[in-house]
């Protein structure tokens, strides 16, 4: 839909993410966001069905988070994390350790999901070095996505992970199917037996593979993977950057399989979607492996803005909201509404699957042209980013019933129209 672009909105200097700059149109100028709604410069509002890449778990501009960040801004916006300490960072680490399963007690902060994954990969390799073993490979899963930096995209499925142009730069890894069937489980065990001595860790997005196609697996499969890692003496890294903080119905997806990963990566909803922050959290076993009289055995990583106090204050406020507001009950209600309202799409010839887990609703189309539907959603007043053959919803966890109905209504309309056109 055409709009009058404000004078600052040109593509002369900004390089956009995942965008062919030769062919793109201007992005939509946003002036405000509150609750589940984004306000555009021309006054229109869009209901956000994807919570800004799954971050805004309490909706935008939540007063409790805003107040915490404002108070922190008055007192101490930033100070380096090496040699100096601040309460929001130390408090947040202790709270995460209390909330995470098992003895995931040792929190290393960074500022983005990809870096949290890099940190986890480095920790795993160095963990084995401390046992006198050089393990330089990882086992990752087809359709997995772990980020865009070198290590993170090397454990991302080369076929679905956006980085085909960089194939020559990728660090070679082992890839397996998520072991759902007996045959896949046997093949997974075979890979671990054959290559276990060079594999530092298995890395997985527990229960939901997000950017690789919003594919679900069940808790039993996740428990099988944990048990297989134990049988073969391998570390398990849970990348909960998307699934963490309620998205799958529990605070962390790993809880549903009652497993404790050796390392867990968190980001996205950690600050309620307000400020960049990530955490890589290790168990006692991983942490203590780094302890020795020599500084060479220390974990050598230290992002300049790690543990930024504003971001940590936002994260603490976000955790307050998980305690004080019925967020997980809201996710359960959202799941039921998504199931109900997306179900009719299952009947359409152009739809191959409709699935829901917690606060994620997925409509999988027969063809891979879902991104062409983006404009139609904007015309209906909703913000969605279909990709590949996937139209999905992952709105704020506390979205109002009527706003969610507007989102599912738009999905039903747009997908039905597209399905009719392709008949
Ligand atoms: C599971 C998972 N891991 C890692 C990342 C990378 O996070 P970031 O974009 O903050 O680097 C993402 C981002 O979508 C993700 O979904």
Give per-residue pLDDT as tens, 318-340.
Answer: 999 999 999 999 999 999 999 99
What is the average pLDDT value for the chain, to the nearest integer? 96
What pLDDT is recorded for position 329? 98
- For the segment 263-274, the average pLDDT, to the nearest whole number, is 98
Lowest-confidence segment of 2-16, 129-143, 201-215 by average pLDDT: 2-16
If DSSP states are collapsed to H, E and C, what string results for the chain?
CCCCCCCCCCCCCCCCCCCCCCCCCCCCCEEEEEECEEEECCCCEEEECCHHHHCCCCCECCHHHHHHHHHHHHHCCCCCCCCCCCHHHHHHHHHHHHHCCCCEEEEEEECCHHHHHHHHHHHHHHHHHHCCCCCCEEEEECCCCCCCCHHHHHCCCCCCCCCHHHHHHCCCCEEECCCCCHHHHHHHHHHHHHHHHHEEEEEECCCEECCCCCEECCHHHHHHHHHHHHHCCCEEEEECCCCCCCCCCCCCHHHHHCCCCCEEEECHHHHCCCCCCEEEEEEHHHHHHCCCCCHHHCCCCCCCCCCCHHHHHHHHHHHHHHHHCCHHHHHHHHHHHHHHHHHHHHHCCCEEEEEEECCEEEEEECCCCHHHHHHHHHHCCEECCCECCEEEECCCCCCCHHHHHHHHHHHHHHHHHHHHHHC
Distance 114 CA to ligand 1 centre (A): 6
Assign 163 a pLDDT band (cuts: 50, 70, 90). Answer: confident
Is 2's pLDDT higher than 60?
A: no
Of the candidates 60, 145, 148, 392, the residue annotated as catalytic is 145
What pLDDT is recorded for position 423? 53
What pLDDT is recorded for position 4? 74
Distance 153 CA to ligand 1 centre (A): 10
Range 350-375 burial, b when 16+ CB lie within 10 A, else e: bbebbbbbbbbbbbbbeeeebeebbe
What pLDDT is recorded for position 3? 62
What pLDDT is recorded for position 219? 98
For residue range 365-415, list pLDDT tens digits in order.
Answer: 998 889 999 999 999 999 999 999 999 999 999 999 999 999 999 999 999
What ligand 1 atom has the least distance to the C-alpha of 114? Answer: 11
Asked whether the beta carbons of 107 and 93 are under 8 A apart, the reply is yes
Q: Residues of the chain with pLDDT > 70: what percent?
A: 99
* Beta bridge partners of residue 215, listed in sequence order: 209
Told to judge if 60 belongs to the known catalytic residues of this protein, a careful annotator would answer: no
What pLDDT is recorded for position 422? 59
For residue range 81-93, list pLDDT tens digits in order.
Answer: 999 999 999 999 9
Q: Residues of the chain with pLDDT > 90: what percent?
A: 94
- For the segment 150-168, the average pLDDT, to the nearest whole number, is 88
Q: What is the pTM of this model?
A: 0.97
Told to judge if 18 belongs to the known catalytic residues of this protein, a careful annotator would answer: yes
Closest among 208, 245, 296 to 92, alpha carbons compared: 245
For residue range 91-126, list pLDDT tens digits in order.
Answer: 999 999 999 999 999 999 999 999 999 999 999 999
Of the candidates 12, 18, 296, 423, the residue annotated as catalytic is 18
What pLDDT is recorded for position 214? 98
Assign 161 a pLDDT band (cuts: 50, 70, 90). Answer: low
Is 164's pLDDT higher than 90?
A: no
Q: Which residue has the higher pLDDT, 56 or 5?
A: 56
Of the candidates 48, 148, 239, 262, the residue annotated as catalytic is 239
Is 221's pLDDT higher than 70?
A: yes
What pLDDT is recorded for position 1? 53
- For the segment 235-245, the average pLDDT, to the nearest whole number, is 98
What pLDDT is recorded for position 173? 94
């Amino acid at each position: 839909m055409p709009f009058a672009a404000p004078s600052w909105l040109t593509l002369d200097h900004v390089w956009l993410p995942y965008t062919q700059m030769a062919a793109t149109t201007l992005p939509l100028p946003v002036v405000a966001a509150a609750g589940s709604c984004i306000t555009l410069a021309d006054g229109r509002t869009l209901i956000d069905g994807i919570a800004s890449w799954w971050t805004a778990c309490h909706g935008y501009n939540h007063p409790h988070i805003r107040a915490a960040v404002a108070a922190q801004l008055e007192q101490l916006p930033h100070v380096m994390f090496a040699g100096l300490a601040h309460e929001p960072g130390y408090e947040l680490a202790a709270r995460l350790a209390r909330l995470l399963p098992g003895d995931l007690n040792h929190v290393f902060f960074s500022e983005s999901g990809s870096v949290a994954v890099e940190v986890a990969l480095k920790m795993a390799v160095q963990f084995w070095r401390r046992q006198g073993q050089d393990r330089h490979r990882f086992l990752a899963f087809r359709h997995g996505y772990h980020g865009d930096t070198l290590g993170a995209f090397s454990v991302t499925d080369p076929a679905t992970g956006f980085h085909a142009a960089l194939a020559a730069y990728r660090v070679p890894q082992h890839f397996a199917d998520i072991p759902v069937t007996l045959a896949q489980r046997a093949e997974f065990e075979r890979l671990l037996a054959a290559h276990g001595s060079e594999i530092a860790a298995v890395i997985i997005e527990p229960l939901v593979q997000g950017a690789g196609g919003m594919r679900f697996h069940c808790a039993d499969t996740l428990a099988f993977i944990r048990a297989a890692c134990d049988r073969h003496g391998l570390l398990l890294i849970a990348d909960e950057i998307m699934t963490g903080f309620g998205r799958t119905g529990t605070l962390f997806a790993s809880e549903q399989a009652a497993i404790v990963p050796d390392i867990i990566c968190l980001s996205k909803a950690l600050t309620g979607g307000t400020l960049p922050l990530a955490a890589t959290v290790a168990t006692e076993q991983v942490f203590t492996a780094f302890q020795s009289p020599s500084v060479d055995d220390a974990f050598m990583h230290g992002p300049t803005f790690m543990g930024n106090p504003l971001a940590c204050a936002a994260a603490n406020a976000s955790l307050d909201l998980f305690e004080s507001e019925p967020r997980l009950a809201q996710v359960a209600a959202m799941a039921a509404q998504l199931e109900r309202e997306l179900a009719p799409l299952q009947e359409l010839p152009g739809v191959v699957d409709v699935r829901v887990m917690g606060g994620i609703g997925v409509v999988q189309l027969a063809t891979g042209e879902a991104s062409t539907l983006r404009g139609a959603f904007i015309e209906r007043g909703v913000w969605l980013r279909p990709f590949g053959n996937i139209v999905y919803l992952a709105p704020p966890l506390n979205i109002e019933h009527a706003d969610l109905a507007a989102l599912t209504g738009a999905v039903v309309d747009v997908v039905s129209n597209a399905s009719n056109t392709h008949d």
